Structure formats: structure tokens, C-alpha cells
Structure 1
Amino acid sequence: MSTIYTHQLFTKTAELPDNWDQVAQSCIFLQKCYLQILEESSPENMLNTFLGIFEGEKLMATALIQEIDLALLPSFGERDHAIKTALRNILFKQFASKLLLVGNNMLSGQNAYTCLPDADESKVIEKLREVVEFWPKKNHLTIFKDFTESQIQAFQIPAFQTDFPFSSQPNMVFEIKSIWQKEEDYVADLSKKYRDQFKRCRKKGAEISTKELNYEEILQAEETIYDLYLHVAKNAPFNTFILPKKHFSSFKKHLGSEFILRGYYLKNQLVGFTTVIRHGKELETYFLGYDEKIQREKMLYLNMLYDLINCGIIQGFERIILGRTALEIKSSIGAKAVRLKGLMRHRFGMIHTNLSWIFPLLEPATTWIERHPYKD
């Protein structure tokens, strides 16, 4: 007898089944503590729906679906040449502004769905396709995002046969060697060129002090934190959302010690911050911010990256997920590019059949050189 799966959509975490977290235990970004953050402090142009997939009364899988309206943004990034930026803005607003996304647009990696071990994953994925196919609101693009080479194999089923496969900028992942016990062990494995880079960076940033902020301290510094974040966000080559001001305090409130916001101070003035999330054996970087003048003078961003490595080593993590920005500088500290794949379908057939040449116009190209900082 064929397995029959049904589904239910939820817009509030209070409505979720009691055993939701048991099903989603492998992914903190599908657990209630994180979904409460989305419920409380999502970007204004993003709506989140939580999907439960059932076999009879039994919850078999959980998923996150996001509706993103890019037309509500003033622009999608301001760093590129004005003509290129203007062209991208026109293309997005006319043909790709309303997105229906299975996954999380605020993170890198497979945070789209989780299944129980005894679930039929093919049936789960088929149900996901069915749900978005009959979504009540009209959208331009339906996207399933951020799957590794092995994860994307599950989508090799008839329901996705006509979807356009795409790959965007890679996720930079830093692997922590088990033999490293302290920062000095990492530095000792670098070639002379990159040991000199480390020493120069640490010397430049010697006047900078750091501090992990608790919930009350984040609230007190929220205005400055947000200004620092906005500076970096608005100078990115591509944006699909802007976080609300209370986002970081909401994170700390709901995740507690699993969320770390580290402030960077120069003469008692907050000039930068980083955020990370503890996720099993992985340390997942989130958003950051800094004063551009201090960043240039003190090599602040590179110092932040080295601090993340130190944190990862000392706290026993196996890897650090560094995300999709600043690929070359992350490569220079030892991070490797992991290609992530996705599938998309455009609502209009003529546009869908031409996505192979339209997609490169929407996705800003990034040229970078892979670095090899370790000794041979």
C-alpha cells in the first residue's frame, strides 16, 4: 500500500505540534526557538510559513517556506556599477520580485526541511513540490535552495524534472583540525606568507578589545549595533532583505548561550561586532557590522575571522560555516569553497525556458582567487 502524506501550514509557533522539535532536532534553524525569532523579527519583506508533513496523525517532516517581496526594497545592492545595478533592479521588479522559497534566505546550507529516519524522503519532497505548486498567492519564482551535491540527488524525481538547476556563490567552510588545541597550533600550520599576514593583522588590531555581550548589553547597544550592520549591508553587492533593528536582541532572547554577539571596542567605543550560532559540531557565522574607517586602519574584518577560528578551536567545534561573502579573504585564512545547488521554476513558461541566460543577469558574478595558506 502506497504511503500517503498530508500537510498542514502554520504561521505561528504556538500552533506547532508538541513534538515538532523532536522531528527537527537535527537542524536548530527548524526548531521552535529559532522559528520564534522569525515570527518576532523577520525582515519587513519576508513572510514565514512553517510546514508539517504527516502520515496519519504522525508528524514525519518539518519545513520552512518563505515569501519574499523584493519590490519592497529600494535597491538590491549599491556596490556595482550604476548601469548594472539599474538593470538588475528593473529585471527583478518586473520578473523576479516575488519569490516563494523552500529554505532560509537568511542562511547558507540545507535548512529547508528535516525528516524522521523512517520517513520516505522522496514522498516528503514530492509533498513540498505539491504545496508550493498550489500556493494561494501568485509568485514569480519558486526556489528550493542550498543543497550539497549529495543532498540534491534526492530531487532527481519526476516532480522536479523541468526545474532549472542553478548554483550561486559558494559557501565558505573552515575545517578545524583535531590536532589543534589553541590558536598557536593553527598559526604554526600556516606558510610563512600567511603567518606574516596573521602577525601583521594582530599587530594592527592590538588596540581593539572584544567582549561577548549579554541580552541586556545588546539592548543597550542596539542602536549602534544596527548602524554598524546597516553600513555593511548597504555596501554589499546584492541584498534581498534588511534586518529589523530588534533582530539581534531577539536572537539572544530566544537562543541564549547558543547565540554569541561579540563587540569590538576602540577606546570604549563600539566599532564592530560579529554574531555566531552554535549548531551541533558547527559554528555558524551570522551577520556582522563595523566602522569602515576602523576596519581599514585596524584590519578589523580579518581580526574578526581569526577570532572566529580561535573560538572554534577552543570550544571544540569541527568546522566554521563562514557564508558567501568575502570569498578570497576567507580563503586566505584556510576556508574552502563548498558549492551549493538549488532548483527554480518561473511562473511564466517563456521566461522559465530562458532561465539559463536570464539567471546570470540576476546573480552578480564574483571573481576571486583561491588561496592556499597552509604549509605543503
Structure 2
Amino acid sequence: MQSKLSFKIYTTVQNVPEDWNQLAKKNIFLSKEYLQILETAAPQNMDCCFIGLFQEKELIGICVSQFLDLSQISSFGERDHCLRTKIRNFVFKRFGSRVLILGNNMLTGQNGIAFIEKKQNKSLFKLLKEVANALEKKYQKKGKKPHLTIFKDFSETEITNFNLPEFDSFYRFSTQPNMIFNIKHSWETFDDYIADKTKKYRDQFKRARKKSDSLDKQKMSLTEIQKHQTEIHNLYMNVAKKAAFNTFYLGENHFEIFKKNLKDHFLFYGYFENNKLIGFNTLIKNGNDIDTYFLGYDDKYQKEKMLYLNMLYDMIGYSINKKYKRIIFARTALEIKSSVGAKAVDTFGLIKHNNPILNAFVAKTFKYFEPKLEWQERNPFK
């Protein structure tokens, strides 16, 4: 007979169990230090909760949830102006503006749930469904009943854990893949990586580097991030607003709070032209992985200096030289990430509309609003 399973929802990191970080040790994005960022510097339209899963009194699982109110977003993105986009935006505002996510919508990949490995079984996934039910009721009491409930970003293997009657009402979906760059053992230095490329892609690298000769790249401290905070936010917003679809925008102090909490695990690089900040990128050390985070740039310099491509090369160079095993390049810009050697890995999720009538149409409408992305995979290596 199995001992009793239960869960507890926390609204502040201060109250989570003392041994929380024991379960988070393989993923910095579940650590108390990172969750403190979500608590203090999450986007304005996002509310975060932290969930402990228990067997009797033992903490055997941890989970992050995010509630998004899309009605607070002035723009979902300014890149596409087609009729499909206008219809999608109207539908989301009217019928899907309140979204409950079990997982982390600010990252790509499974960064929202962790179990003690020996305890992982079907009953824990049933318990996650109970957690979702409790969170739905919690927001309903506040007059914010979620329209949509989503379990986010599982691998093809992980998603099979949800093959349970409790999830029959959910639609299984896959959107843009996660672009993952695996670092070969034979690459002792960045030069080894360049030497492994075909002539076409070596020439591309040389051309990009020549274009960026005049730029000064600087690793920025907390003080320097604070000093340039307004420019940083403007550069971030310039890129963010060009996305096909946004569910949130970062606050101006987000990177400052990030640096304060994660310290040396968070790297912030500024790109300067004649002492003017024209772009930045961010990296997070996560065990054997480097996770790329948000970036920003001035469009003029992006085109002139091939800035984005140079940023990708810099991220790769750092990760190889520091002996990391993978770079998580996340979604978007699939083709250019493919051109530097990243591979597409499909991720899956579950979605349900909490109106049973509208839920019957989720499968059809999802395919309409998320058409299959056409892009050409590249292979830059010999």
C-alpha cells in the first residue's frame, strides 16, 4: 500500500521547505536563488507559485507554476500583420487571456518540475493534475479563472508520463523546437570548432568577425548593468517587440535582479561601438549546460556588424573554452542557430481550455494559430 501523497502551494520562496535545493541541485532554474528572481522581478502580468510534492512528510518533488494575464499586454508582437495574426490576437484577448502554466514560460525546456528519481512514477503525475486543479480554483477565487491550463516543454520520452486518464481532456502539442548545441569532445578550443567547419562556414565566420572588428565586447558587472539599465531595456524591447508572439515583457530592473541573485552564474556581455552600448547577450551556467537568456541590439548595428551571428560565435567560444557540454540556444532564429551547429530537438506540451465546449476546438484552432514553421536545417561541419 502506497503512503499518502500530498502537495503544498507556496507564494513566497521564504516559505518553501528547507531541503528544496536538494531537489533543485541539477537545475539552477528550480533553485531558491532563481525562484527569488521570479518572485521579485517577474514580468508585471505574471504571478508565480512554488509547489512542494510530499510523500508523508518527505519532499519528493518540486514544481513552478506561472499565471499569465495576457490582457495586460499592449502588444503580442509587432513582426506579423497578417489576418491570421489579427484573428489570433483577438481570440487570445477574448477567450484565452488568462493562462496557467505548470512549467517556466520564460525558458525553453523542462525547467519547471523535478522529482527524486527513485520516487518518479505515474502517481506523481496524477498529483500534478491535482496541483493544476487547486491552482485553477485559487485564481478563480480571485476572479481570474484561467482560460487555459498548460503543462510545458517535455521531451518525447517525458511526455509519455502523461498517458493517463486524468489528462484525456488535454491536447498534446509541439511548437518550435529547442535548438541545442552539443560540444564535441574533440574541440579543446574554439579554433578546433572553426577548423571542423566546411569552407563555406569558415568563410562565414571570417566575414562576421571582420565586420565586428571595431566592436568592444565587455563582461559587465552588476554596477555596469545598473549604469546602463535604460539602454539595456531599450535594446531588449527592440528585439522583443519583433517576436512573432509575446506573452510577457521583462521589467527594466530584471537583469539587475538576475545578477544580484545568481552572481557569477549569470553572465552579461555588452557590445560597444565608440563607447556606446549597441547590443548585449546573457548566459546562465546550469551544471554542464550553458543556457542562453535574453539579448538585445540596435538594428542598425545588427545589420552592419553581423552582431547576432557574432554573439552566437562568442557564446560557443566561451562554452568550449570553459569545457561545458551543451548550449541551450532555445527557440527562435532556428536557421541561423542551425548554421553555427545547433540541432533542433522537439519539445511537447499539454493544453486544455477550461470551457469544455471551447476545449473541443483546441486541436483545430491550435494548428491554425501555430502553423508549421518552414526553415532549412544547416550542417556547417565537414
Given the two structures, how large is their TM-score scaled by the length of structure 1? 0.97
Give the secondary structure class of the aligned counterpart of 1:118: helix
Does residue 61 of structure 2 align to residue 54 of structure 1?
no
Q: Cα deviation per residue 1:27-66 (whole Å; 9 max; x = unaligned)?
A: 2111100000001100011000000011121111110011
- In the other structure, the counterpart of 1:234 is 241
Whether the 8 Å CA contact 2:100–2:149 is kept in 1: the answer is yes
| Mapping 1:158-197, distance limit 5 Å | 158-197=165-204
Residues in 2 aligned to 1:42 and 1:121: alpha-carbon distance in whole angstroms: 32
Query: Structure 1 counterpart of 2:105, which letter?
Result: N
Residues in 2 aligned to 1:141 and 1:85: alpha-carbon distance in whole angstroms: 19
How far is 1:366 from its partner? 2.8
Whether the 8 Å CA contact 1:54–1:61 is kept in 2: the answer is yes
**More deviation in 317-326 or 135-144?**
135-144
Q: Cα deviation per residue 1:329-361 (whole Å; 9 max; x = unaligned)?
A: 001111100000001111112221221210123
Mark the runs of 5 or more structure 1 residues left unpaired by the alignment.
Answer: none
Query: Structure 1 counterpart of 2:40, which letter?
Result: E
Give the secondary structure class of the aligned counterpart of 2:118: coil
Does residue 134 of structure 2 align to residue 127 of structure 1?
no
- In the other structure, the counterpart of 1:9 is 9
Q: Cα deviation per residue 1:294-314 (whole Å; 9 max; x = unaligned)?
A: 000000000000001100100
- In the other structure, the counterpart of 1:315 is 322
Q: Cα deviation per residue 1:169-201 (whole Å; 9 max; x = unaligned)?
A: 001011111111111111111111111101100
Give the secondary structure class of the aligned counterpart of 2:184: coil
Pick from 281, 292, 298 the counterpart of residue 288 of structure 2.
281
Residues in 1 aligned to 2:284 and 2:79: alpha-carbon distance in whole angstroms: 28
Percent same amino acid at aligned positions?
46
Residues in 1 aligned to 2:340 and 2:199: alpha-carbon distance in whole angstroms: 13
- In the other structure, the counterpart of 2:21 is 21
Change (3 A) 1:317 1:145: same
- In the other structure, the counterpart of 2:277 is 270
How far is 1:120 from its partner? 3.7
Does residue 71 of structure 2 align to residue 64 of structure 1?
no
Q: Cα deviation per residue 1:135-161 (whole Å; 9 max; x = unaligned)?
A: 222111110010011111211222212
Pick from 154, 169, 176 the counterpart of residue 147 of structure 1.
154
Pick from 274, 284, 299 the counterpart of residue 306 of structure 2.
299
Pick from 210, 213, 226 the counterpart of residue 219 of structure 1.
226
- In the other structure, the counterpart of 1:33 is 33
Whether the 8 Å CA contact 2:3–2:56 is kept in 1: the answer is no
Residues in 1 aligned to 2:160 and 2:85: alpha-carbon distance in whole angstroms: 35
Query: Structure 2 counterpart of 1:83, which letter?
Result: L
Whether the 8 Å CA contact 1:281–1:319 is kept in 2: the answer is yes
Query: Structure 1 counterpart of 2:305, which letter?
Result: K
Residues in 2 aligned to 1:263 and 1:143: alpha-carbon distance in whole angstroms: 35
Query: Structure 2 counterpart of 1:165, which letter?
Result: R
Pick from 360, 363, 371 the counterpart of residue 378 of structure 2.
371
**More deviation in 159-168 or 258-267?**
159-168
Does residue 315 of structure 2 align to residue 329 of structure 1?
no
How far is 1:364 from its partner? 5.7
Residues in 2 aligned to 1:130 and 1:369: alpha-carbon distance in whole angstroms: 41
Change (3 A) 1:232 1:112: same
- In the other structure, the counterpart of 2:142 is none
**More deviation in 199-208 or 80-89?**
80-89
Query: Structure 2 counterpart of 1:36, which letter?
Result: Q
**More deviation in 121-130 or 246-255?**
121-130
How far is 1:118 from its partner? 2.9
Mark the runs of 5 or more structure 2 residues left unpaired by the alignment.
Answer: 140-144
Query: Structure 1 counterpart of 2:86, which letter?
Result: A
How far is 1:3 from its partner? 3.1
Question: What RMSD, in angstroms, separates the aligned Cα atoms of the two structures?
Answer: 1.1
Give the secondary structure class of the aligned counterpart of 1:374: coil
Give the secondary structure class of the aligned counterpart of 1:162: coil
Residues in 2 aligned to 1:84 and 1:266: alpha-carbon distance in whole angstroms: 39
